[in-house]
Structure 1
Amino acid sequence: MIVAGIGLRPGTSEPDILACLDQALRQAGIVPSALRLATIASRAGEAGLLATAQSRNAELVAIPDEALKGFEAACATRSTRIASLYGVGSVAEAAALAAAGPGSVLIQPRIATARVTCALARSATS
């Protein structure tokens, strides 16, 4: 299973999220047969993200903010601003790894657009 970790600003539109997601998938050279989206719990209700999950027929997983901290060492990139807010260098990377489960690996480090970040992880069972 491929998990796309998504970090986003409030009010981000579906087209903006899809553009970042598609860019991450292209960079990784992946066309997933199944996709799961993951983000922090406080952003899981964002209309643009819900629409993205629906349009891609993807499960959306909400990761509690405090659960992200356990993935700090596995993050490949670091935003000082995000680290001060959430205690982890990349919400997208940590959310992808958390939702992919134990033994998962980061296969595409965080990429960023103006309003969205996206990282990809592969679960150990896929």
Structure 2
Amino acid sequence: MLVCGIGCRRGTATEDIEAAICLARNAFIRTEDIAVIATETSKANEPGICETAHRLGVTLVSFTTDEFQSVASRILTVSPAALKHKSTPSVAEAAALLAGGANARLLGPRVFNATTTCAFAVVDGDLR
């Protein structure tokens, strides 16, 4: 099962979020394998993120920046912007790991486009 973590600027278009997901996928990941989209609590009502989850037919979950601290040691990417604004090295990676639970592991570092970051975590077993 795959979890997709998303970070974005306010007002990011659905198409930009979907483009970041496509950028993060590789030849072995199918969009239909995504079970959950996860993000930071302040972005949980962003229209672009909500619409992307709706289009993919998946659940949208969110986590606080305080919760991000519990997975900080497992994050692969350090973003100065994420550290400054959200006190986490990577919103997308932290969200994916938290949504996946204790057994989740990142498939690689997050990718980004002009407005969105995206990271995938694989989960063996049930989601958090």
Q: Which runs of 5+ in 2 are unaligned?
A: none
Contact 2:65 2:88 in 1 (8 A): no
How far does the alpha carbon of each residue in 1:13-66 deviate from its partner, in whole angstroms, 9 at most, with x for none? 0000000011111x3621143421000000010001111000000110011121
What TM-score results when the alignment is normalised by the length of structure 2? 0.92
Contact 1:44 1:62 in 2 (8 A): yes
* 1:108 match: secondary structure: coil
Contact 2:76 2:108 in 1 (8 A): no
**Paired AA for residue 57 in structure 2:** N
1:105 aligns with 2:105: yes
**Alpha-carbon distance change, 89 to 104 in structure 1, aligned in 2, over 3 angstroms:** same
1:41 aligns with 2:31: no
**Paired AA for residue 29 in structure 2:** I
After the TM superposition, which segments of 4 or more aligned residues of structure 1 sit over 4 Å from their partners? Answer: none
What TM-score results when the alignment is normalised by the length of structure 1? 0.93
Return the alpha-carbon distance in structure 2 between the equivalents of residues 94 and 87 of structure 1: 11
Alignment partner, residue 84 of structure 1: 84
**Number of residue equivalences:** 125
Q: Provide the identity percentage.
A: 35
Contact 2:6 2:37 in 1 (8 A): yes
Superposition CA RMSD, Å? 1.4
**Paired AA for residue 15 in structure 1:** E
Contact 2:35 2:59 in 1 (8 A): yes
Alignment partner, residue 29 of structure 1: 28
Return the alpha-carbon distance in structure 1 between the equivalents of residues 117 and 101 of structure 2: 20
Return the alpha-carbon distance in structure 1 between the equivalents of residues 75 and 34 of structure 2: 23
**Alpha-carbon distance change, 28 to 100 in structure 1, aligned in 2, over 3 angstroms:** farther
1:122 aligns with 2:122: yes
Alignment partner, residue 4 of structure 1: 4
